[in-house]
Structure 1
């Protein structure tokens, strides 16, 4: 757990640096570094778990955690879930969501879930702040649509763009670890494959989801200008410099 705490502290420091700069290129570099650290830690843990299994030692096991997204009847929670899922996919975490988007259940290794929650907390604040700013902007006045429609379009685009950025960084970090020049690329590939299989089997055995979450389809509305703004701000979102946390959180504010 000490290694995970150090990881979260480092990611937190990077996020603070990102949030403290007005230079979008610096912010992008901090965000990229945060996801690279998260992926490298996840890879190292997978290799360590494989070695522990070979020696018959105890190792971290997959688990599940319920995370509150927002209160019942709160409007717009589906885009919050979309953001959480986008971050989770980049960090080896599977997600089930309540039909009304008030909570999610995350399945994965504890450190991966911790990382996902940390990134979600800070990126959610950026997404909400950005959508509010857009609604008060001249751009929204030039393309007037209902406020709720514009907000949801902005947030959907923001979540999609941030998720893509995180997955790109994860893929690059994995490619580096598996490169032919890597000292133990073959062993790392085997450890990651075993982890993927174990997580899939754990999810299959423990998920009680029935059907497919449809919150993203209910979000509705067509506001291309708002979506463009959300995509643009998602590209500039500061993925590094998030605040420190002391451990897993029981719930997150809406």
Structure 2
């Protein structure tokens, strides 16, 4: 399929999509399966909170659903969908649809990069720095970059959250970050959980390190070429929990 775009329920051409998509604003990314989305209320909550912070106004949920439905049309049941709220005189809701993405089954290779996002709790529409960091990481043979502070504390990936297991506890970095929708769904897993400062060296001591984003959950196999521990049972626990979350209907 070719990428589609809709603004407040109206299909538009690619020029209009890029003209608005590059503006000041925020967005959320989701995987649509059989016209359902996991954590749809969390996506609305994200968009609502960011809209109030950036624009000082609430979010029209009907406009969001209208644009998603318009961009899916009558024929698409599975797709990667992004919903942007961007300013062009006033806030506009823009949705795009592209081919669906699935989390790769192979472990990811990651590398640390010193960079911290401004307003990290907001998923920002104009993400040049993160896009550049991710692109450079891939050019160097890695799958993802881990964003760290100057003294080495890990916050998140360029387009992912990072987590790990230690002695049966699910560990998240204690650092400013975007709490991704998949991360928030994994926080509902019925295991002990904690936040603590994590540096790259600490990853070597964890039983399993993983990444999460709208694609799903991915194991981390190495950091800067150093192999990490792998535990298939822990990855299966994460994936079974995530896969077992029912999607919310869009229609």
TM-score over 0.5 (shorter chain): no
Whose strand fraction is larger, Structure 1's or Structure 2's? 2
TM, length-normalised to structure 1: 0.24
The higher-RCO structure (CA 8 Å, 6+ apart) is: 1
Whose helix fraction is larger, Structure 1's or Structure 2's? 1
